[in-house]
Amino acid sequence: MNIASKQFTIYIFLTFLAFHITPIKTFKSLGIAILNITFLCLLAKSPYELIPLGLFLVFCFTAIKLIEKQCFKNAFLFLLLLLIGIFIYLKKYAFLFFVPFYNKPYLSIGFSFILFRVIHLMIDVNERQYKEKIGIFDFFNYVCFYLCYISGPIQSFKDFKAQLKDLNNKNIYFDFLIHCKRLVNGYLKILLIAPLFHIIYENLATSFYSNPQNIYTYFGASSFYYLYIYIYFAGYMDIIITIGQIIGFKLPENFNQPFRATSLLDFWSRWHITLSNWFKTFIFNPILKKFVIMNNSPKLFNLFGIIAYFITFFIVGLWHGSTFSSVIYGLLLGTGVSLNKLYDNLCRQKLSKENYSKLNNNIIFNTFTSGLTFSYMFISTSCLFLSAQRISWLIRSLSFTGLFATFAVGTMILAFIKLLLVAIEKPLLKLTKFLPENLKLYSSFLSLSIKFLAIIITALFFTDNTPQFIYQVL
């Protein structure tokens, strides 16, 4: 089952029904728990596939209770390392080729997001952030909340509990009408636009495999693969956030116009925001703090920051898969972001604050740096669809000179596209201001109706061909 399937649509309809007819106090605990269990059962092909997940959750809850009681010295550190070790084992990372894995099929979807929530909760409990003890229903509903289970967003336990406390089932129809447009847009992205981009990617990739010296087909395949990920993920978030709002949950946004980014640092503050914030809070900040404690020399602070960025984004890359390709992806992400930070530090040292601000606000410079950013991201992300053997073959076929040429050509193409979009955007915005309100309303209604009709047709006949979303398998 995926978010584009008929089963998910029926499940969400039953969720609305349960939310509306169940007494709200019952729904807040038992009702959500039943919905979460049902969701997990729909994801699994058989009940046996849920056994490793169930054991993992039992361990996580036991670890939380042991940390609460401080049963032994260094309980938090020991249990945290054990948790990460179990997670690595269950994810079957390629570098553990010598380890005998559990070979029977089991549900592995969502393990990464469970890990993030549990680590967050363990740290908060260890720091005595909660006066009340963590109950089993609250724990299970938080880490396995069906709206966030597959691909996030990552929400803190404190925020989840606060929203659960304020949950009510009044004004449900009014809320649905308000958020209908975003829901329709989300399904349009997942059912129509994302599959179209995926088909283009597959055709370009096939062409590239047959002629590896063609840098344009390689860059095209990488670009459309990345756009496919974005459109599917953005559509997923539109649907999940809207469904959450309809039943009273305000889930955090995961995107803030990422394609307006003009640097890698800017990009990661706009893309998968809850993931970026989690890594900043629990990986980057502790690493940087540790470096400063070891040596608090102001001269080394910038260097510490660059190293911390590299380590953090190397781990971000590893998180995207369990193969050697994800190691290469991590190295590329870490290198790109740390070089971006080095450049930023040098500019701040060499240029005055006023001149640096002028440079960053220059349209030509921004379009170039935007092209640079996304050319690097598109090429780096090709590691997600290329195996380690394919990457080795790619380097032999194109050579490092060819890869650099691909990067340079891609930068120029994307910068030109960005410049065109910037030039078109302002006149279009001015034009819409002069349109009569009645025409705007009619156009909006007509657009929504056409989108809804397209979604219905696609859902009835073509949902089985919807490609699997990459974050669904993490």
% the chain with pLDDT above 90: 47
In which element (H, E) is residue 74 found? none
Neighbour-count burial for 13-26, b at 16+ CB within 10 Å, e otherwise: eebeebbeebeeee
Is 143 in contact with 118 (CB distance < 8 Å)? yes
pLDDT of residue 474: 45
In which element (H, E) is residue 114 found? helix 111-126
Cα angle vertex 41, ends 38, 43, to 5°?
A: 115
pLDDT of residue 55: 95
Q: Rounded distance, CA 33 to CA 257, Å?
A: 34
Q: Rounded distance, CA 462 to CA 474, Å?
A: 25
Is 64 in contact with 122 (CB distance < 8 Å)? yes
Q: Bridge-partner residues for 147, per DSSP? A: none
User: Coil, helix or strand for 436?
Assistant: coil
Among 19, 17, 107, 85, smallest CA distance to 474 is for: 107
* Tokens read off for 382: 């090709």
> Model confidence over 389-418: pLDDT tens digits?
899 999 988 888 999 999 999 999 999 999
**Any idea which residue has 């001015």 for tokens?**
430
Is 474 in contact with 112 (CB distance < 8 Å)? yes
Strands (E), 89-150: none
- Amino acid sitting at position 197: F
**Any idea which residue has 């040429």 for tokens?**
405
Is 95 in contact with 30 (CB distance < 8 Å)? no
- Amino acid sitting at position 188: L
pLDDT of residue 437: 59
Domain-wise residue ranges, the chain: 6-168, 252-434
pLDDT of residue 473: 44
The model's pTM is: 0.89
How would you classify residue 272: left for phi > 0, otherwise alpha for psi between -120 and 50, otherwise beta? Answer: left
Neighbour-count burial for 314-334, b at 16+ CB within 10 Å, e otherwise: bbbbbbbbbbbbbbbbbbbbb
pLDDT of residue 53: 94
In which element (H, E) is residue 159 found? helix 157-165
pLDDT of residue 157: 92
Is 111 in contact with 55 (CB distance < 8 Å)? no
* Tokens read off for 54: 């169930």
* C-alpha dihedral sign at 90, 92, 96, 97: positive
pLDDT of residue 246: 80
> Model confidence over 351-382: pLDDT tens digits?
888 888 888 889 999 999 999 999 999 999 99
Q: Rounded distance, CA 111 to CA 205, Å?
A: 30
Average pLDDT of adjacent 10-residue blocks, the chain of 474 residues: 74 82 77 91 90 95 91 85 93 81 85 93 90 90 91 88 76 61 85 91 93 90 95 92 84 92 95 94 94 87 95 94 91 97 92 86 92 96 91 89 93 93 77 61 57 57 56 49
